[in-house]
């Protein structure tokens, strides 16, 4: 018995299946052609969500702030970072002869140290007695006091309210106490070797020159420290002199040279620059001549040092100004210009 084949639905007939297979193959070929030759006006890789921003962070302008989180790396800067760059806005233009004149302050202080050392050497070599030194120092002190009052025209005395009687009492008290403590000053460093005393004196005088107030606004300037170092050096050197009277004269001389003389020179420079320059030249020549009597070699070296500081160093400074390249901008440290003293009271 022959069983007839089952009847298939029209959708599963072999002819219908062959037609659908051919249509699927054609569609696959068309799709491959579209991938090989994309449409020029269509994106070959369309986004799965065409309405969403493809970037994880929106495009934002960079700001120079630290308190706000921004979608940029920590070291990122844009083109506006250097717009506020300024160069050499605070550079001071120096003139050669002006710098030469200003170097006179350094020359005077070097000459003061030289004069003090030469006078001490004169007493150590018994070429100068302490009586002669004290008498001549007292005369110079009185002349300088009168000249200071004449140059100042009484302005300083009016501001401070100090009288001449107060100045006289201060002078008498200082001289009396210095003379009374001179035996102590003479024996203060007996247990220390002479070489150590000389080395300490050299370092103290160098420190006096380093910390002296030459008129510069710098952190290293300390008039009090400079004066104390000079007085300490004078006490060290006075302890190696023959008698306590020598120590008294040496300390008195140190006060006149390192404390009173700079005050007089500062006032003279402010009121009479021409006289100040003349006094500086005479004072420097006296220091060189005094050193020449003690050591010609030291005098020559000292004169070369003065010439270098007076003429060569200013030339070097003026020459280097053209190579100066300071940059300023918003990255500089903030400077508080407001007076904050009311908050410290």
pLDDT over threshold 80, residue 83? no
| Inter-CA distances, 291 with 116, 119, 277, 297, 300, Å | 10, 9, 21, 9, 9
C-beta of residue 151 within 8 angstroms of C-beta of residue 272: yes
What confidence score (pLDDT) does residue 40 get?
46
Percent of residues, the chain, with pLDDT higher than 70: 81
Average pLDDT score over residue span 194-210: 95
pLDDT over threshold 50, residue 8? no
Indicate the pLDDT class of residue 20, thresholds 50, 70 and 90: low
pLDDT over threshold 50, residue 12? no
Query: What does the block give as tokens for 286?
Result: 């006296």
Phi and psi at 7, nearest 5°, equal: -80, 130
Indicate the pLDDT class of residue 329, thresholds 50, 70 and 90: confident
Interval 178-193: pLDDT, tens: 999 999 988 888 888 9
Query: What does the block give as tokens for 224?
Result: 């009090």
Average pLDDT score over residue span 9-32: 50
DSSP states of 202-245 as a string? HHHHHHHHHHS--S---TT--HHHHHHHHHHHHHHHHTTSSSHH
Average pLDDT score over residue span 229-243: 93
Indicate the pLDDT class of residue 130, thresholds 50, 70 and 90: very high
What confidence score (pLDDT) does residue 3 get?
46
Interval 27-79: pLDDT, tens: 445 444 444 444 444 444 444 444 433 444 456 777 777 778 888 887 887 77
Interval 279-309: pLDDT, tens: 999 999 999 999 999 999 999 999 999 999 9
Interval 148-177: pLDDT, tens: 888 887 777 778 778 888 888 999 999 999
What confidence score (pLDDT) does residue 114 get?
96
pLDDT over threshold 90, residue 327? no
What confidence score (pLDDT) does residue 52 get?
39
Which residue's entry shows tokens 């960079």?
62
C-beta of residue 211 within 8 angstroms of C-beta of residue 222: yes
What confidence score (pLDDT) does residue 23 get?
52
């Amino acid at each position: 018995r022959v069983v007839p084949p089952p009847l298939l639905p029209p959708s599963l007939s072999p002819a219908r299946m062959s037609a659908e297979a051919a249509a699927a193959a054609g569609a696959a070929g068309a799709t491959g052609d579209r991938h090989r030759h994309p449409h020029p006006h269509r994106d070959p890789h369309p986004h799965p969500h065409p309405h969403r921003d493809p970037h994880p962070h929106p495009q934002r302008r960079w700001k120079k702030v630290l308190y706000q989180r921004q979608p940029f790396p920590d070291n990122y800067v844009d083109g506006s970072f250097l717009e506020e760059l300024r160069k050499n806005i605070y550079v001071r233009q120096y003139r050669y002869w002006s710098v030469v004149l200003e170097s006179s302050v350094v020359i005077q202080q070097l000459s003061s140290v030289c004069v003090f050392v030469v006078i001490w050497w004169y007493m150590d070599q018994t070429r100068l007695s302490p009586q002669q030194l004290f008498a001549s120092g007292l005369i110079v002190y009185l002349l300088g006091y009168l000249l200071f009052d004449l140059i100042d025209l009484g302005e300083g005395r009016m501001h401070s309210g100090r009288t001449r009687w107060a100045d006289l009492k201060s002078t008498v008290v200082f001289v009396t106490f210095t003379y009374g403590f001179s035996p102590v000053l003479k024996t203060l460093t007996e247990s220390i070797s002479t070489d150590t005393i000389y080395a300490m004196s050299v370092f103290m005088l160098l420190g006096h020159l380093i910390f002296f107030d030459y008129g510069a606004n710098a952190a290293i300037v300390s008039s009090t420290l400079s004066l104390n170092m000079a007085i300490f050096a004078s006490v060290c050197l006075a302890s190696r002199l023959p008698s306590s009277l020598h120590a008294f004269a040496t300390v008195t001389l140190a006060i006149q040279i390192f404390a009173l003389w700079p005050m007089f020179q500062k006032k003279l420079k402010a009121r009479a620059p021409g006289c100040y320059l003349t006094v500086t030249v005479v004072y420097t020549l006296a220091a060189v001549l005094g050193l020449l009597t003690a050591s010609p070699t030291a005098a020559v070296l000292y004169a070369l040092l003065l010439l270098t500081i007076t003429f060569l160093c200013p030339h070097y400074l003026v020459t280097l100004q053209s190579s100066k390249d300071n940059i300023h901008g918003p990255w500089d440290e903030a400077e508080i210009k407001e007076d904050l003293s009311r908050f410290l009271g």
